[in-house]
Structure 1
């Protein structure tokens, strides 16, 4: 089929003109199928991108809050709130963990939002995964098994962002 016949078929379809020519009908069905597939793909990409943004925002909120608490509150108050694991580490290490969590929150949102160094978003997600694996180990060692599922869920969400921003929805 030639290109002229294909475009005539498209123009007639847009105008609402029905055609009786078999080649034109074939061209119309092929063009419609391609358009349907493309729009479905675009919708899927939009949904994936939206899911990634929501996950990034939730992770950023969690980490900004947790980091700010570790930076602002006294160590003894943190031990009462977060658990006895706080006393197992030097106060400087707890403060550095808080700073790393705030940096992760910023890294999950800002590079992707402004489009500058977007590779930092999956890097921040990888950092969150590492922190959550460490948190899981610490909670298991201190017999705080109730907190383990939460850390694993957060790690899984960060893995989703890492995979999504490196692969199908890379920025």
Structure 2
């Protein structure tokens, strides 16, 4: 289970890193032009960049605390924060009728919930 939780955290961190880099560094207009990015046109630049920074922090928070042995409890805490972020993403995409993206967000939410459940209860980091 320990290895499965590490793999799940690594995959989710990769998703968070990709989303964070794009929202933080790609211009808003370019993001809005892509399929699924329509919500960006309705959001302020600061909001989009803030989400990007949160996603970059999530990518780090899913891996680094445990890998460095510094406050490893932050891994499941970060996973819970990702759950909340995905609830917002599901609501946003659902309102725009983008149900495939909302379903993808639900899948990410499920992975994050699995990590939180596993690291808080089944296989917590010791130390």
Q: TM-score range by the shorter chain?
A: over 0.9
Q: Which has the higher contact order (CA 8 A, sep 6+)?
A: 2
- CA deviation digits over 1:57-83, x for unaligned, max 9? 000000001100111111000001242
- CA deviation digits over 1:108-145, x for unaligned, max 9? 00001111101110111011101101000000111111
Runs of 4+ in 1 over 4 A off after TM superposition: none
Residue in structure 2 matching 1:89, options 36, 43, 54: 43
**Whole-Å Cα distance in 1 between the matches of residues 115 and 67 of structure 2?**
14
Equivalent position of 1:155 in the other structure? 109
Equivalent position of 2:19 in the other structure? 66
TM-score by length of 1: 0.71
Residue correspondences, number: 124
Residue in structure 1 matching 2:59, options 105, 110, 115: 105
Equivalent position of 1:80 in the other structure? 33
**Whole-Å Cα distance in 2 between the matches of residues 159 and 100 of structure 1?**
18
Gaps of 5+ in 2: none
TM-score by length of 2: 0.95
Larger Rg, first or second structure (1 or 2):
1
Gaps of 5+ in 1: 1-47
